[in-house]
Amino acid sequence: MQSVTKTYRPISWPMKGSGGDTGSWRTHRPVVDHQICNKCQFCWVYCPEAVIDRKEIIIDYTYCKGCGVCAVECPTGAITMVKEDE
């Protein structure tokens, strides 16, 4: 990954957030209960957005779109979808 220099270049560079802060699309936020979580990494592998940290199961809410796939696939039910506050 490279950063864009100040001079304009007609080339796109690989960078996070190419669609903006996609976390603002979210209507429900996934919340992990670390007491129940057994770190099976199912949520990490099925997350389409690659926002879940593999080791600690921490979700990056800046980019999480709140699709809820992780909550459905979690075998222990450690992830719940909580409605976002207005």
Partner 1 sequence: MATSIKKLPDTEQVLSGNGACGGCPATMALRIVGKALGSNAIMLLTPSCSVASMGMTPKLGYNWPCINITFASAGSSASGITHAVEIMKEKGRLQGELPTVFSWVGDGGTYDIGFQALSAAAERNDNMIHFCYNNEAYSNTGVQRSGATPRGSFTTTTPTGKRQPKKNMALLMMEHNIPYVATATVAYPGDLYDKVVKAKNIPGMKYIEILAPCYLGWQFDMPETVQMSRMAVRSGAWLLWEAENGKISFNNPSSHIISGKKDPAPVDEYVMKQGRFNRLLKGPDATQRIAEIQGDIDREIAFMRERAKITI
Binding site for partner 1 (CB under 8 A): 1, 4, 9-22, 25-26, 40-42, 44-51, 54, 60, 62-63, 65-69, 71-73, 81
Supply the DSSP symbol for 59. B
Distance (Å, whole) CA 38 – CA 49: 21
Given a contact cutoff of 8 angstroms between Cβ atoms, the answer to whether 1 and 57 are in contact is no
Given a contact cutoff of 8 angstroms between Cβ atoms, the answer to whether 30 and 59 are in contact is yes
Q: How far is the CB of 74 from partner 1 (least distance, A)?
A: 11
User: Residue for token digits 């879940």?
Assistant: 52
Q: How far is the CB of 55 from partner 1 (least distance, A)?
A: 10
Q: How far is the CB of 64 from partner 1 (least distance, A)?
A: 8
User: Residue 7 or residue 35: which is nearer to partner 1 going by CB?
Assistant: 7
User: Residue 35 or residue 48: which is nearer to partner 1 going by CB?
Assistant: 48
Given a contact cutoff of 8 angstroms between Cβ atoms, the answer to whether 30 and 66 are in contact is yes
